[in-house]
Structure formats: C-alpha cells, structure tokens
Amino acid sequence: MMSHVASHPWAAIIRRQLPLALLTILIVALAVPAAMLIAPAFTGRGPEPANTESAVPAWQQVPRDLSLPQGIAPLKDSAPVPWPDALGAQLNTTLQADGGGSFTGVVQDAATGQVLFDRGGAEARVPASNMKLLTAAAAVRAIGPDQRFSTRVVSGAEPGSVVLTGGGDVLLGAGESSRDGVLGHAGLATLAQLTVKALQESGVKGPVQVRLDDSLFTGPALNPTWSPDDVAAGETAPLFPLALNSARYDPAVTTGPRPQDAAMTAAEAFSAQLTTAAAAAGLSVTPGVVRGQAPESSKVLAEVQSATLRQQVDLMLQTSDNYLAEVLGRLAAVAAGQPGSNDGATATVFKQVQDLGIPTDGLRVADVSGLSLGNQVSAGQLAEIVRAITSGTDPSLRAAIGGFPVAGLTGTLGSRYTDASTERGAGLVRAKTGTLNSVIALSGYVVDADGRLLVFSFIGNGLQPGAAGNRTALDRTASALASCGCR
C-alpha cells in the first residue's frame, strides 16, 4: 500500500550472489509452508532441530542443497525468550519516525503471550492495510478455509432467457477456467460452453437473452468513509458479488481506474463468450444484458467455482487487494447470517475479533480493507490477531499463514529488505504491510536467532508523507527481531 548487530553472512549471499532462479527456490525452502506442515512448529510438538556447530541457526542459513523442503523443524519450548530490557534497547533505537509523527509497537512471545516490548501498544491508531489481518481471520472463521464460491447460469422466467448469478467470485477470468490459478480459476468461456450444452439438452431453439442477478450484496456499493480520490485512482471500486480480475480491466495491470460496474462488465464478457459458443451450436444470443433476479424455481444450467477461500485470503494479503478484502468481508457477513453490505461486513469482522477473545477496547471498524481513515486498531490488538493466526487455539486460522509476504521475496515485501541495514530480516520476516498518506504499519511474525517465535505490530501515524525513513525504520526494527538473541 508502507540494534545494530552484524549482518548474517547468508543475507549478504542472498542479496549479492544468488541468481533469480535460486532465490525462487530459496523462498520455498525458507518461507513457512502450508499450515499443515507449519502447525507443529508453532505448538512445539515434533522432533527437535538437528544440532549445528554454526553460530547461525539452521533455519537462518542458506540450504546446502536444493532438494524439496520438508518444512521448518518444530520449535522448542525451551528456546529462550528475549529479555525485554535488551530487546527494548534495540527497538527503541530503530523505531524512530522520519520527521513528524510517531510509532507505537508491541512484540509478544507467540507461545505464552508475554509482552516483550510495548510502546503505546493500547493506543488506537489508523492501521491502513493491516486491517486486512482482521478481515482474513474473520473470513476464515465465518466461511471456512476450503469454501468455494459459485457463479451460476440459471433458467430465466421467460423462455430462452438465462440469468448469470453472482455468488461472490470476483476473481473470474474471461477465458476458460484455470485449474491451477487463483485469479481466473473460474472462467467465463467455460461457463458459456457449459451453458450452451445445457440449452441444447433442454431443446432451446430461439434467441437467448442474458440477464444479470447481482443481488447477493445489498446497500451502498461504496463505503461512505472512502475518499472519492481513492476510488477515482482505482484503490477500490463499487462492490459487486461477481467481477473479472478483482474488478480490473486487465489481470496484468493492477493500478489505475477500475470498472465502476464490475458485475455488468463481467456479464457483458459472459454474453460475448456465450455468443461465440452458441454460434458454433447453431444458436443466437440477443445483444445486451439487463438486470433481473433469478426466479426462485429456476434450474441451474451451468456452474463454475472459484479458488478456495484459503487461496483467496493468501492473494488478498500478498497483494493487499482492497477490492478483494471488501468482498471477503461481505461474504463473511452473509455466512454469518448478516446482510452482505458495508455495515454487515464491519459488524462481522468486529464480532469475530471479539469471539477470538481479543479485547476490543478502542477498536473501530469503518471498513474491512484499511482504506478508511475511520479505522482504529491498536498495535496490541494486531499482535494478538497475528498470534491467533500463528499459534492460537482455533486451527482454522492457520489457513491465513501463507498469505503473509516474506521479506525481500514475495508480495508487498518483495522489494524491501535489500540493504545492509535490513538484510538480516530477508527471508525471515513475514508481515502484512500498510500504507496511507501519513500512515505506515507492519504486523507479522518471525523466528528469532534463538528459535523463539515472536509476533509483532508497529504502527506509525501522523507521519510526514513520503518520508523514506519511516519504511526503513519498520524494516530495521523487524530485522532486529529476526537477528535477536536478546539475553
């Protein structure tokens, strides 16, 4: 969106010597794998890591070979917890604002919840896209990590009419379904082909009229707390329960203006695909698409399904997609029996945080993507969300682990942690970024040099817009955690 300890030798190697191909393999070797492999690492169960004579722990070294990874070795409960005074001395040095404003922050031991560093951790602040961590947790709990969303074509009220019905998939592709993709997992060309086959089997001969049912979401399509400038710039767009490319004109272009009626854009693309598929079968399609709800007694003619919620949460966190975050919030509301609206989404996210047992004092949920300046979340609350995801009592939340960007390698952290002051965190820090005009935040987790899993959140508010030192301060602070043997 936005401790001075000698650098580890492996970090310099990553930065200066490894080619891109090796970096790609290295991320697989270093990054936290699927939740089923990782969960024992966070609970302390399983075999202990092999002994090493090196002063640098095994998990912080470049692998000796490039064989397929087996996952991070389980962490030991006996690994020492950083001494708060020693840790604080380092973090208070690095966590300094560049110009105006200030940073708050919290670091906790994931296993015990012990607070190791607290600078204004209870102070409610604008979290920017760190808000998406709350949304990820709420969506996984309310919907379920393996849930998929269906886009259906059903029979219309008039003979020969069909109704394209949105079920919450806004990652539709215009072409054929991509089995291995998240974006484009369900394709409109495939849906059109299935529809023509069903129409033929039903004996339809006359022209086919396409209608659009996007009634799953209710209320205003735009959150009233969003800046019109952000909408115009394409930071988000009016929300609908179906869209192409997360409401982008081109899946390869993730900046700039978005369609203002993403559902109709998708419906028109479907109509075009249906026209092509129908022509090959000797059928015709009436030009134009009109809105209209599907009859209650309608018959399902064709259906395509999205990638799983787990995969969509990963994409949302990795790319910090505001549109997808807001849609997942509305879908969580629908799953919880609430309206699929702005108010339904914000109420559902708040309730899910509350149900996790996280104190909600001062918490204000104005939107679920983090674009709104009306959001108020403390560093302590964000650290607790990360702790719930990594090592809490609800195992379904492990589904959100894979979405945290990896420092220097993936997502919104891919181009960071590349200089001498931050390279110690490369490949180790896993965190969600957040940036608004005068706001910057970073919340995530790291295994420190002693093998202890730490969760953290740092939030800067009132900052000087564009001051480069603020992002560096966050990255240096997280890197200090990664290299900490603070005893």
CA distances, 219 to each of 99, 227, 396 (Å): 41, 18, 30
**Active-site annotation holds for 129:** yes
The answer to whether 285 touches 188, Cβ cutoff 8 Å, is no
Distance in angstroms (rounded) separating the CA atoms of residues 56 and 54 = 5
Q: Are 48 and 74 in contact (CB under 8 A)?
A: yes
Let me know: does 451 contact 76? Beta carbons within 8 Å: yes
Annotated catalytic, 246?
A: no
Identified catalytic residue from 177, 246, 298, 320? 320
Token pair listed for 294: 């599907």
Cα(304)–Cα(151) distance, integer angstroms: 6
351 is catalytic: no
Are residues 130 and 138 in contact, defined by beta-carbon separation less than 8 angstroms? Answer: no
Catalytic residue, chosen from 129, 271, 372, 457, is 129
Q: Which of 3, 132, 155, 177 is catalytic?
A: 132
Task: Determine contact, residues 365/333, Cβ cutoff 8 Å.
Answer: no
Residue 235 per-residue DSSP state: S
Q: How many CA atoms lie within 13 A of 471 on its CB side?
A: 20
139: Cβ–Cβ under 8 A, 6 or more apart, which residues? Answer: 309, 313, 328, 329, 331, 332
Closest by CA position to 77, among listed 57, 49, 119: 49
The separation between the first and the last C-alpha atoms of the chain, rounded to the nearest angstrom, is 35
Alpha helices in 236-321, H assignment, sequence order: 262-280, 309-319
What is the greatest pairwise CA distance in the chain? Answer: 79
Parallel, antiparallel or unpaired: strands 453-461 and 102-109: antiparallel
CB contact at 8 A, 141 and 397: yes
**Tokens for 394?**
């609800």
* CA nearest to 353, candidates 323, 345, 343: 345
What is the DSSP secondary-structure string of 224-257? TTS-HHHHHHTS-----S--BTTT-SSTT--SS-
Query: Which residues carry out catalysis?
Result: 129, 132, 320
